[in-house]
Amino acid sequence: MKVVVTATGTTLDSPVSPVFGRCPAYVFVDTETMEYEGVANPAAGAAGGAGIQAAQFIVQKGAQAVISGNVGPNAFSVLSSAGVAIYLAGQAKTVREAVELLKKGELAKTGDANVGGHFGTRGGGMGMGRGGGRGMRRNW
């Protein structure tokens, strides 16, 4: 089976990434032979819709299953619609370990997104500034 693991690097010994859409890399692994291909995530720097773009990339590459720390609702929808199984990495620290746990049947298959949208983005909260950007500051 061809699986893809979200990762911080492009080898079997790379750490598993806790995010799906904005992870640095994907490692595609043949579970029978352990042959792999590591590729940079083309959606990692997307201004918006990274989860959807990443999921479409995964589907186009022919993965039958995904192993990730977390998967948001938009990515989950694309992957599940394409029949791609989604497993949570759990305690797996490396890509190799995640695949081995999958082969042993020790990873939890998820039937829904396990985080909300925009989970892997940086920021997004209210800043500590005084509203000086975009003409929003008022000196009353």
**64-87 per-position pLDDT tens digit:** 999 999 999 999 999 999 999 999
pLDDT of residue 103 exceeding 80? yes
Q: What is the pLDDT of residue 140?
A: 46
Average pLDDT over residues 101-107: 96
Would you identify the CATH topology of the domain 2-114? Nucleotidyltransferase; domain 5 (3.30.420)
Dist CA 55 CA 79 (whole Å)? 6
Q: What is the pLDDT of residue 64?
A: 98
Q: What is the pLDDT of residue 127?
A: 40
Domain boundaries, given as residue ranges, for the chain: 2-114
**111-122 per-position pLDDT tens digit:** 877 676 555 544
Sheet of 25-30: strand order equals: 36-40, 25-30, 2-7, 65-68, 85-88, 108-109
**48-65 per-position pLDDT tens digit:** 899 999 999 999 999 999
Model pTM?
A: 0.81
Q: What is the pLDDT of residue 31?
A: 97
Q: What is the pLDDT of residue 111?
A: 82
Indicate left, alpha or beta for 10 from its phi (over 0: left) and psi (-120 to 50: alpha): alpha
